Amino acid sequence: MSNLPQKVRMFEVGPRDGLQNEENVVPVEIKVGLIDRLTDAGLPAVEATSFVSPKWVPQLADAPEVMAKIKRKPGVAYPVLVPNRKGLDGAIAAGCDEIVIFGAASEAFSKRNTNCTIAEGLARFGEVCDEALKRGMRVRGDVSVCLGCPYDGEVAPAQVTAVARELYAMGCYEVCIADTIGVGTPGKTRAVFEDAARYIPVEKLAWHFHDTYGQALANTYAALECGVAVFDSSIAGLGGCPYAKGATGNVATEDVLFMLEGLGIETGVDMAKLVEAGRFICDFLGRPTGSRVAKALMAKAA
């Protein structure tokens, strides 16, 4: 186990990736309550919302109110998704200091998610990134559909690497490789990582797994063995992507934490508080948690 990282940075995406996928818009106070509980649990990064077109993602149209009402805990990052200049202006006005730009590894997904080709998207993100860096903001780059695309099917590792390299070259402090529809397996995870790692240092790479086919923890372990030490996850396993039908939520944060604790890897996250944050949002949504660990811990406590 000596090649596993000693510490992992858990990057929570539930308030954004999770709540963007809810049929009904979750009220601002609930979003704020969730974000504040997540930071109170010790998560170092909570992706709070998106400054995207409300015509495309009405669920997050309240981004400015959410950013105004959360308690900003010192040392915690509150990244927000930004697709274009208009989104950047919104994020600046809301006092955000970290943005996420998001490209795709397949043409069909780029078109469905951002209404442009991969190249057009990268050109747009390049301008957004330059302006954000000039203002002293931090910029993260996500690459979607890296282990398979709902429209184009197979995605070659070289397609992922090409987009990841561009985002890194623009000045992203980290590039996150995403399995948007959760079709990846550990071998494919490793192959995509190894190709990207020929050009991008391992400490600049993160992973984002969805658990549609139940492979997310196995994939997380494969990435840990490659030395990756930053992982996205979603409280209670909330989420999906409105432009990837059938994709379930991200791997649950509680489940990732349980595995990391079992491996003796430090995160700074408190399991009991995390489970309470999950209970809070699931009570509001009126459905059971998607986290196996939260379910087990709540049953044990009852």
Instruction: Assign 180 to helix, strand or coil.
Output: coil
The binder of Mg ion chosen from 12, 17, 47, 255 (CB under 5 A): 17
Q: How far is the CB of 238 from ligand HMG (least distance, A)?
A: 12
**CB of residue 76 to ligand HMG, shortest distance in Å:** 20
148 touches, from ligand HMG, Mg ion, none (C-beta below 5 to 8 Å by class): none
Mark the segment that binds Mg ion (CB under 5 A) among 9-17, 58-66, 92-100, 191-199: 9-17
The residues binding ligand HMG (CB under 6 A) are 17, 20, 50-57, 81, 83-84, 86-87, 90, 102, 113-115, 142, 144, 178, 180, 208, 241, 243
Q: Is 116 a catalytic residue?
A: no
* CA neighbor of 83 nearest in space, from 105, 48, 110, 52: 52
Per CB under 5 A, contacts with Mg ion among 204-233 are none
Nearest to 270 by CA among 44, 18, 13: 44
Closer residue to ligand HMG in complex, CB, 247/281:
247
Residues 6 or more apart in contact with residue 63 via CB below 8 angstroms: 48, 49, 50, 51, 80, 90, 94
Q: How many degrees, rounded to 5, is the angle at CA 16 between CA 149 and CA 141? A: 60
Residue 110 near which of ligand HMG, Mg ion, none (CB within 5-8 Å, type-dependent): none
First to last CA, the chain: 35
Q: Are 57 and 21 in contact (CB under 8 A)?
A: no
Whether residue 163 contacts residue 122, with contact meaning beta carbons closer than 8 Å, is answered with yes
Active-site residue, from 96, 129, 176, 241: 241
CB of 298 to Mg ion, least distance (A): 25
**3-class DSSP state for residue 266?**
strand
Q: Does 98 bind Mg ion (CB under 5 A)?
A: no
Q: Which does 57 bind (CB under 5 to 8 A by kind): Mg ion, ligand HMG, none?
A: ligand HMG
Is 234 in contact with 282 (CB distance < 8 Å)?
A: no
Known catalytic residues are 241
Q: Which residues bind Mg ion (CB under 5 A)?
A: 17
